[in-house]
């Protein structure tokens, strides 16, 4: 299960690729700042947040407006993410087809285990939920598409890092830190690496109230069957997701993960 | 209805903004080429399609891999759109919340008029469907999210261009051309501009088998209530969407458009 992810994440790049177009890196940092702001963000706010000169910002914003990666907010109060970004995401390997094809599998899994099921895309810093099947009970965890969690919080990060070469996992841990979201969070680097070993052996990761008190989760990696690194996870209240339940859920998830991988690989 | 779109589309930019970071423009052309290819695309294919030198491509691809706007395909056969683009789109003004909030209005409109209803984001070149409510009849037009049509094809382009200043509309027509998709398509520039005048007067645009034989459509502009230029359109078979039906549909659509604008403006 982890082989595909390893391949996708340890690119062999030609020596010539050492040069990186610096304006492109800056442009994406700018787009991230705009997306993080939610509302429209002004040029002076961007200058403050990013520390770029006004000249650099003018050049970047001009280019991003030209290719519609940015647009001006309807009331002229600043900039927002533009239609080109939405279009790229939608056209990317028929992204919506992925969500559409995954939904019945998520619904089926939810019906069998009775907890909320999420499908997420993993980036370097976050796990982004792109489809969910919510538990059909009054007291449940709700996680609508668009919600994202820090990558190293809970089960998702563990399952993702377990699929990476040790050096790359360590680099991500150093970069982002193991934060004490709750008293249960694993903040000791050695203990965390041991946990990753256990995840590799078992094929799934568990979060025992490590990100949110009272909440447990199980995560399974899907590799990149459709080009994007994906993971499946189940979130529920600690009260119902006790130790025997965790085992049953993990077994059901592994079946669902195989079905998802088969369905999504057909998209390639 | 068109005022907001005009504002969003006629940016006043400071003189300093005349400089455009050329690497950023090239990077987005590269991302577009990758998205258009659907499957993974190799470096030599990109060099052929874009006409960039291998050195330029290495620098751009290196930067885009670093910020995860590109990723390597699982089997190492080339590049695909990466998680950062999907994340930007999802986080952009709660994009999924827009779709979620719009869906009940689309469903209600579909139930009243019995034809397929689409919500689309408009970019410089295409109308991209992001949500649909399909007609509940056996013979219907199906337009799943992710589908896009050329901007100047049919009703969507007309309603979009009618909201732009004449000079900008003309520039888009020159750039993309008025193609003869069907014998009914308006390919004469003067007749097309007269049609835009009629759209401005009526507040909606009609396509009478101008893009697909046997298919008619009505479109209404929504401005950019959530930061992205949006339009609502209804597509159906010419047989059921006759002249009296077009009038009724347009009237129902204008009510739905106002509701959508109110709901989405609350997101701001």
**CB of A79 closer than 8 Å to CB of A63:** no
- Of A18, A7, A23, A94, nearest in space to A55 by CA: A23
**CB of B144 closer than 8 Å to CB of B171:** no
First to last CA, chain B: 17
pLDDT by residue for chain B (268 residues), tens digit each?
A: 233 333 333 444 444 446 778 899 999 999 999 988 867 889 999 999 999 998 899 999 999 999 989 988 766 678 988 888 888 887 776 677 788 889 999 999 999 999 999 999 888 788 888 889 999 888 888 887 778 888 899 899 999 999 988 898 999 999 889 999 999 999 999 999 999 999 999 999 999 999 999 999 999 999 887 777 899 999 999 999 999 999 999 999 999 999 999 998 876 5
d(CA B25, CA B21): 7
Residues of chain B contacting residue A69, judged by C-beta atoms under 8 Å apart:
28
pLDDT digits 0-9 by tens, A208-262: 999 999 999 999 999 887 777 899 999 999 999 999 999 999 999 999 999 999 9
Rounded to a whole number, what is the distance in Å from the CA of A120 to chain B's nearest CA?
10
Show the tokens assigned to B260: 């959508």
Contact A146 B94 (CB under 8 A): yes
Question: Which of A65, A72, A123 is facing B84, going by the closest CB pair?
Answer: A123
Show the tokens assigned to B22: 């050329």
Place of tokens 């030599």: B44
Facing residues of B66 across strands? none
d(CA B123, CA B172): 11
d(CA B216, CA B237): 6
Mutate which of B28, B32, B69, B150 to disrupt the A interface (most A C-beta within 10 Å)?
Answer: B28
pLDDT digits 0-9 by tens, B127-147: 888 889 999 888 888 887 778
Place of tokens 């994340």: B87
Looking at domain A93-265, what is its CATH homologous superfamily? GAF domain (3.30.450.40)
Question: Which of B25, B74, B229 is facing A63, going by the closest CB pair?
Answer: B25
Contact B67 A122 (CB under 8 A): no
Show Cβ contacts of residue B21 under 8 Å, excluding neighbours closer than 6 positions: A23, A27, A59, A60, A62, A63
ipTM metric: 0.73
Residues of chain B contacting residue A18, judged by C-beta atoms under 8 Å apart:
62
Distances from the Cα of A50 to the Cα of A23, B24, B90, angstroms = 13, 17, 22
Rounded to a whole number, what is the distance in Å from the CA of A56 to chain B's nearest CA?
8
Ramachandran region of residue B115, left (φ > 0), alpha (ψ -120 to 50) or beta?
beta
CATH 1.10.10.10 spans which residues of chain A?
Answer: 15-81
Q: Kindly write down the DSSP assignment for every residue of A126-158, as one continuous string.
A: EEEEEEEE--SSSS-----TT-EEETTSHHHHH
Please state which CATH class domain A15-81 belongs to: mainly alpha
Rounded to a whole number, what is the distance in Å from the CA of A199 to chain B's nearest CA?
22
Q: DSSP class of residue B124?
A: S
Specify the pairing of strand B116-122 against strand B148-150: unpaired
**CB of B30 closer than 8 Å to CB of B46:** yes
Count of A-B CB contacts under 8 Å: 266
pLDDT digits 0-9 by tens, A54-82: 889 999 999 999 998 998 876 667 898 88
Q: What's the helix, strand, coil split of chain B in %, to 5? A: 50, 15, 30
d(CA B74, CA A228): 8
Rounded to a whole number, what is the distance in Å from the CA of B235 to chain A's nearest CA?
21
Show Cβ contacts of residue A118 under 8 Å, excluding neighbours closer than 6 positions: A106, A129, A131, A132, A143, A232, A233, A234, A235
- Residue A260 burial by Cβ neighbours in a 10 Å radius (0-12, 13-18, 19+): buried
CATH 1.10.10.10 spans which residues of chain B?
Answer: 17-81
Q: What fold is seen in the domain B17-81?
A: Arc Repressor Mutant, subunit A (1.10.10)
């Amino acid at each position: 299960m982890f082989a595909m992810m390893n391949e996708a994440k340890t690119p062999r790049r030609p020596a010539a690729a050492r040069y990186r177009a610096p304006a492109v890196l800056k442009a994406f940092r700018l787009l991230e700042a705009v997306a993080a702001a939610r509302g429209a963000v002004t040029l002076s706010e961007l200058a403050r947040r990013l520390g770029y000169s006004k000249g650099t910002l003018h050049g970047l914003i001009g280019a991003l407006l030209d290719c519609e990666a940015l647009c001006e907010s309807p009331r002229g109060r600043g900039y927002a993410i533009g239609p080109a970004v939405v279009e790229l995401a939608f056209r990317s390997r028929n992204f919506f087809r992925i969500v559409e094809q995954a939904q019945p599998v998520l619904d089926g899994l939810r019906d069998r285990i009775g907890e909320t099921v999420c499908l997420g895309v993993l980036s370097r810093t976050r796990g982004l939920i792109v489809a969910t099947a919510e538990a059909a009970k009054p007291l449940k965890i709700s996680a609508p598409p668009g919600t994202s969690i820090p990558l190293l919080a809970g089960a998702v990060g563990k399952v993702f890092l377990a699929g990476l070469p040790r050096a790359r996992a360590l680099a991500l841990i150093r970069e982002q830190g193991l934060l004490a979201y709750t008293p249960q969070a694993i903040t000791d680097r050695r203990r965390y690496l041991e946990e990753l070993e256990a995840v590799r052996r078992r094929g799934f990761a568990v979060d025992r109230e490590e990100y949110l008190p009272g909440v447990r989760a199980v995560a399974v990696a899907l590799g990149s069957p459709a080009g994007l690194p994906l993971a499946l996870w189940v979130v529920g209240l600690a009260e119902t997701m006790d130790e025997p339940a965790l085992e049953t859920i993990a077994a059901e998830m592994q079946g669902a993960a195989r079905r998802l991988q088969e369905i999504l690989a057909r998209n390639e």
